[in-house]
Chain A
Amino acid sequence: MPMPDSYLHYPVRRYGMDHDRYDWSDLFTRKPIQWPGGARIALSVVTHLQHFPLDMPAKPFKAPGALSMPYPDFRYFTNRDYGNRIGVFRVLRLLAEKGLRTSFAINGIIASRYPAVIRAVVDGGHEVVAHGLDMGKVHHSGLEPEAEDAIIAEALRLLRAASGQKVEGWLSPGRAQGFNTPELLVKNGVTWSLDWANDDLPYEMRTKEGPLLAMPQAYETDDQVVANEYFHSEPDWVQQVKDRFDVLYRESADYGGRVMSLPLHSWVSGMPYRVEYLREVLDYILSHDGVWCAPVGEIAAAARAQV
């Protein structure tokens, strides 16, 4: 069957983007961003706390880290759950030693399954970010708007109730969205999101319900991506994170403040053999002058008036 002639038509071939979510903008010619206290780097540490249901669906796609063995998958169900029982506390202890306040992106269902984890995160001075309901509830354009709205509302309700925080930040499971997800997020009181991987700085995204601030989240130096998609060793992860920091730090001298994003997973970096590599990364970054580590919500607040 030949392609229909519509395959050679390009209705949104025009200046700028092929959608209306945001305008094109060049990272290196924007007005420089200034961080509080004249910091050069805003360090954004986001630790994922995830629940992978035993019966998670395979369609239309699985989020990274999904169970992959024949049902019932004891192996990965329990391995991922390790992060919520042990790994997260190793990461929390390290962050406390360093005196860092950071963000934790948490599946809403964890608030009802393991409220003690939410208490530990909040007591540590950290920010709760909604990470969808669970890793089996991926957002995509095949969902009815009412169904997707219900997932978002439930995740936020659980996390707000358990944490006592406003919870205005969002990270979708697998960073997946449907066409309407940004509208539904704003409608439910979300003001910033970590899903899009196209920038090293915050920028404003348009939705029919109002603006949504897109916050940068590193994709390829995410601990889970490096370990389980690239299969690189822990020292290689450390090197890449340091190299990433070095370039952003250097650029901050000429182009204004940068965000250094460090995405972590409790079931990855919280492993016994890995957590000291996380310490090495944090020590390296914090050894530099002008590094401001803050919860993503505070970085968003500092950026909002400038973008």
Chain B
Amino acid sequence: MTESVNEIRPDLGLYDYLPWPGRPKITWPGGAKIAVWIAPNIEFYEYDPPNNPTRTPWARPNPDVLQYSHRDYGNRAGWQRMMAAMDRAGFRGSVSLNVALCDHHPEIIRACADRGWEFFSHGIYNTRYVYNMTIEQERAIIRDAFDTVRQHTGQELAGWLSPALSNNLWTMDILSEAGIQYTCDMFHDDQPMPVKVKTGRLISMPYSLEMNDVIVYNSQKVTPRHYGEIIKRQFDQLYKEGDESGTVMCIPLHPYLVGQPHRIEAFAEAIDYIAGHEGVWKATGREIAAHYHASGAYDAMIAAMAAHDRGTR
């Protein structure tokens, strides 16, 4: 059981330092300067979830009907507005999926699948955290996620965002061991980067807290229209820097937030703006990961990090 305790240490130890100047150049398909991917978190929060000693799911005692129903808004109303905006701008989604939603709302899964959207795993429910799980318990939810997504969509999971961003120090090892190719849980870079795991070739996929609607609206207290401005600014800069080496921009969304009537238009206008540029690769997480490996970027970054490590840090 001792292996299932998070040791206290000063560094995650999951990646090596590699400064931006002098990196191997990343090239995207068709000479695109930037890969833009949109990651809707299609989530199910439980009405009466069990408690986890590290994090209580709801601020109020179960049932927290205000917060529960607010989340449920996304699955009754918000998702359609979000999807319509993405359809209009020509973006497919890479769905950060609480996989139990396959059971609860197969209609939503079908609509995403019909559009060629990718599904990656965001755990079983957003009210079940991996905190205090044993490694075997955590492996069990990874298996559940693979099986559920395969059964409902035919897709083999490639990506993972831990439920409610809960993690253990060993999580990346067991994700990679199970066949996960990219994690969205780390925010240290604008490009995919190798993750140091025991087996496999896991990469971190740029996901972004600062573009994440839940962070922008609820933590930063940003207005809906200013969220649109933030998205455009982020894009402008990464697009410009994409001349040097291919960048990645992610827009993580929550339909219960961005799909509200007072918010959807500012978002829709911002992604129309992005879609109006040349040299934008409208990708999914799986496609970015595949190209990263196929183009040799993974191996080049590994070599560059080793060289950097041998020289002066």
Do A and B interact with each other, yes or no? Answer: yes
- Contact sample, A vs B, 14 pairs, CB 8 Å cutoff: A10-B124, A12-B47, A13-B104, A14-B104, A17-B47, A17-B72, A18-B46, A18-B48, A61-B61, A176-B65, A220-B262, A240-B262, A241-B262, A243-B265
Partner of B100 from the list A10, A200, A239 (CB cut-off 8 Å) is A10
Question: Are B137 and A220 in contact, with the CB atoms below 8 A?
Answer: no
Question: Are B137 and A5 in contact, with the CB atoms below 8 A?
Answer: yes
Question: Are A175 and B65 in contact, with the CB atoms below 8 A?
Answer: yes
Residues of A within 8 A of B66 (CB): 174-176, 195-197, 219
Interface residues of B (CB under 8 A from A): 1, 4, 44, 46-48, 50, 52-53, 59-66, 69-70, 72-73, 75-77, 80-81, 100, 103-107, 124-125, 128, 132-134, 137, 140-141, 144, 217, 221, 223-225, 260-266
**Other A-B pairs beyond A10-B125, A195-B66, A243-B261, 17, CB < 8 Å:** A2-B134, A3-B52, A3-B133, A7-B128, A7-B133, A14-B104, A17-B47, A18-B47, A25-B76, A26-B77, A26-B80, A27-B76, A140-B60, A176-B60, A195-B65, A200-B261, A219-B66
Residue of A nearest to B44 (CB): A18
Residues of A within 8 A of B144 (CB): 8
> Does A178 lie at the interface of the complex (its beta carbon under 8 Å from any beta carbon of B)?
yes
Q: Determine how close the nearest CB of chain B comes to the CB of A179; give it in whole angstroms.
A: 6
Given A1-B53, A26-B107, A243-B262, also A219-B70 (CB < 8 A): yes
Bound together, the chains give a CA A298 to CA B124 distance in angstroms of 41
Residue of B nearest to A174 (CB): B66
Q: Determine how close the nearest CB of chain B comes to the CB of A170; give it in whole angstroms.
A: 13
Kindly list the 3 A-B residue pairs having the minimum CB-CB distance in the complex, ordered from nearest: A244-B262, A247-B261, A198-B72
Bound together, the chains give a CA A198 to CA B69 distance in angstroms of 5
Residues of A within 8 A of B65 (CB): 175-177, 195-196
Tell me which residues from 1 to 37 in chain A have a Cβ below 8 Å from any Cβ of chain B.
1-3, 5-8, 10, 12-19, 24-28
Residues of A within 8 A of B76 (CB): 24-27, 198-199
Residue of A nearest to B1 (CB): A2
Residues of B within 8 A of A14 (CB): 103-104
Bound together, the chains give a CA A179 to CA B65 distance in angstroms of 9
Number of residues of chain A lying within 8 A (CB) of chain B: 55
Q: Determine how close the nearest CB of chain B comes to the CB of A6; give it in whole angstroms.
A: 7
Bound together, the chains give a CA A10 to CA B125 distance in angstroms of 9
Q: Determine how close the nearest CB of chain B comes to the CB of A147; give it in whole angstroms.
A: 15
Q: Determine how close the nearest CB of chain B comes to the CB of A198; give it in whole angstroms.
A: 4
Question: Are B63 and A177 in contact, with the CB atoms below 8 A?
Answer: yes
> Does A142 lie at the interface of the complex (its beta carbon under 8 Å from any beta carbon of B)?
yes
Tell me which residues from 123 to 142 in chain A have a Cβ below 8 Å from any Cβ of chain B.
140-142
> Does A60 lie at the interface of the complex (its beta carbon under 8 Å from any beta carbon of B)?
yes
The interface-forming segment of A152-160, A230-238, A268-276 is A230-238
Bound together, the chains give a CA A219 to CA B65 distance in angstroms of 12
Residues of A within 8 A of B128 (CB): 7-8
Residues of A within 8 A of B124 (CB): 10, 13
Tell me which residues from 164 to 182 in chain A have a Cβ below 8 Å from any Cβ of chain B.
174-179
Question: Are A17 and B104 in contact, with the CB atoms below 8 A?
Answer: yes
Partner of B73 from the list A178, A197, A236 (CB cut-off 8 Å) is A197
Residues of B within 8 A of A8 (CB): 128, 137, 140-141, 144
Question: Are B224 and A16 in contact, with the CB atoms below 8 A?
Answer: no
> Does A55 lie at the interface of the complex (its beta carbon under 8 Å from any beta carbon of B)?
no
Residues of B within 8 A of A197 (CB): 66, 69-70, 73
Question: Are B63 and A3 in contact, with the CB atoms below 8 A?
Answer: no
Given A6-B50, A247-B262, also A27-B80 (CB < 8 A): yes
Partner of A239 from the list B4, B141, B223 (CB cut-off 8 Å) is B223
Question: Are A243 and B224 in contact, with the CB atoms below 8 A?
Answer: yes
Residue of B nearest to A64 (CB): B66
Given A13-B100, A177-B63, A198-B73, also A244-B261 (CB < 8 A): yes
Partner of B104 from the list A16, A27, A243 (CB cut-off 8 Å) is A16
